Structure 1
Amino acid sequence: RAYVAAAIERGLAVDEFAPRLSFFFNSHNDFFEEIAKFRAARRLWYDVMTREFGAKKERSAWLRFHTQTAGCSCTAQQPELNVVRTAVQALAGVLGGTQSLHTNSYDEALQLPSEDAVRIALRTQQLLAHESGVADAVDPFAGSYYVEWLTDRMEEEARRYFDRIDEMGGVVAGIERGFFQREIQEASFRYQRAVESGELKVVGVNAYTVDAPIKVPRLRISEAARRAQSRRLAALRARRSASRWSAALDRLRAVAATEDENTMPAV
């Protein structure tokens, strides 16, 4: 809303830019809650764009979004279980209507993903797309008593949360006051406390644990690749004009410090 309102204030017509807007969502472990979250988000965006901003084009009210599975849910203990977690989260994203999807690799709690882990993450998407049939229906949970109820509840609670943000002066004011950062930190603290107390069961971490050592294929960057990248970086620095680079960076800093100048030309 804040971005749309700012663009309109600068003289842009909502239907000129709204069809290009897109969102980035996370898909976590609670399967039905995640599906309801995506469904509620579509309702909310449609309502905001048509009622609040008066969008006329159908595409202006479409919620185009990408989904990534929850990297924070990947565990270092029994990391092979992360394959299952990622698959469930990806399935929720698809059933919730995501337009694109990123699946995390099972070893991300331990290291940068290995090639094998990345391949399994990719194959998870391909299996959902080509073998399961879940992508063949639009909004397949429409009409489900439980999912519709949960979607309604999610929408209601989201509206109350938005009202809370509006009361503090809007998103920009919330950012300046550190509201969103605190909310993230407090949610992370509550989650970790629930895990440590046993209130929230995490398989392999505080339930159904094993004492076996963690074994995953280690990602190794070859010496040849390291040398090649070092050569490319050295060549870039050698041919780059230090004075032009410094002047361009100073220009970008100056533009970023203003409130009404577009940073993209400086970038």
Structure 2
Amino acid sequence: MRIDVLTLFPEMLEGVFGASILGKAREKKLVALSAINFRTYATNKHNTVDDYPYGGGGGMVLKPDPVFAAVEDLEVAPDTKPRVILMCPQGETFTQAKAEELSRERHLVFICGHYEGYDERIREHLVTDELSIGDYVLTGGEIPAMAVIDSVVRLLPGVLGNESSAVTDSYSTGLLEHPHYTRPPEFRGWSVPDVLISGHHGRIEAWRREQSLLRTLQRRPELLDKVELTSKERIWLAEQKKNSEEDGVDK
């Protein structure tokens, strides 16, 4: 995969691109990552990339010409059409399902804005996707872009040491992930559940599924509406919910 990030602050991304999982994926040539300063595509003598909005109002708006020129100057492999992604608070909320979709692409281009916003022609005629990482506003699109890139790259084949890790992550199955434990088996009087050290793989998988269901019920119950459940699981969840409500009344 190739990922290009158009930004006014490329130095913000280089540290992340060279560290941890992203850095290792880059070293293995599983992904090519680059940060491009689109100010270099400004056509005026002051290299400005923003201007006052027509109609008045506060703030500055990113001009279309440097952004279009930067995208059109990118090297694109034959028979490849990049997904051009605008990081924007108005965009579709980013999810694990979207990360999985993007991980199947060959070339991603991220546009990171600053100031008041983008010229609408960038949205209408250049980008293929608009993404948001939450209902809040940041000073620029770099941090959201890094979050999305990290989420996507870790799904690429060969990036993670254990290929099953991404498959069992929270949201990948539609449920929140089950609890994890490691050595020592007892710490400050708190013990690892017996089932996890029993060596019985069937019971362990059943326990993990049950814990995922319970954790999702407790923390993100709305997710259960989208998950395929057995009749037995639905009955068990109903019992857990009833018990929780009764405990709340008792307290």
TM-score by shorter chain over 0.5: no
Structure with more of its chain in helix, by fraction = 1
Structure with more of its chain in strand, by fraction = 2
Q: TM-score range by the shorter chain?
A: under 0.3
Compute the TM-score of the two structures, normalised by the length of structure 1: 0.19
